[in-house]
């Protein structure tokens, strides 16, 4: 499956809570994808970068996974097993990497 960043959402590269503008930079976006590969043994790959309206659009590939939707309890168990703290249902924090997932 291919995905591309959307320049109309959170400055194009997701939310960065530690920034003054709450928008991530392209390098912060790529850093997060790398952490996702490390923590979850994912296989996200950079496909290319294209320029749209003077801004980089990052195109990645990510495996599509088929299966049943997990229960919240199963998600919580997996996240705690990976040293994430449960902040609230569906929100997890990894202090070691400074990573918030929701």
Domain boundaries along the sequence of the chain = 1-66, 67-102
Q: What is the pLDDT of residue 68?
A: 95
CB-based contact 59:68 (threshold 8 Å): no
| For residue 29, pLDDT beyond 80 | yes
Residues 47-61, buried b or exposed e (16+ Cβ, 10 A)?
Answer: eeeeeeeeeebbebe
Q: Residues 15-34: what's their mean pLDDT?
A: 78
Which is more confident, 12 or 88? 88
CB-based contact 47:61 (threshold 8 Å): yes
Q: What is the pLDDT of residue 96?
A: 87
Element (DSSP H or E) covering residue 85: strand 85-88
| For residue 44, pLDDT beyond 90 | yes
Q: What is the pLDDT of residue 57?
A: 95
Residue 3 DSSP code: E
| For residue 16, pLDDT beyond 80 | no
| For residue 20, pLDDT beyond 70 | no
For 72, half-sphere exposure in the C-beta direction (CA atoms, 13 angstrom radius) is 7
- Which of 16-25, 72-81, 90-99 has the least mean pLDDT? 16-25
**What is the Cα–Cα distance from 63 to 27, expressed in whole angstroms?**
22
**What is the Cα–Cα distance from 42 to 52, expressed in whole angstroms?**
28
């Amino acid at each position: 499956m291919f995905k591309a960043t959307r320049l109309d959402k959170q400055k194009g590269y997701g939310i960065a809570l530690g920034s003054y503008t709450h928008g991530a930079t392209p390098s912060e976006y790529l850093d997060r994808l790398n952490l996702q590969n490390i923590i979850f043994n994912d296989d996200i790959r950079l496909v290319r970068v294209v320029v749209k309206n003077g801004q980089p659009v990052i195109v990645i590939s990510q495996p599509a996974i088929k299966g049943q939707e997990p229960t919240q309890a199963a998600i919580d168990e997996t996240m705690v097993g990976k040293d994430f703290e449960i902040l609230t249902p569906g929100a997890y924090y990894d202090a070691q990497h400074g990573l918030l997932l929701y």
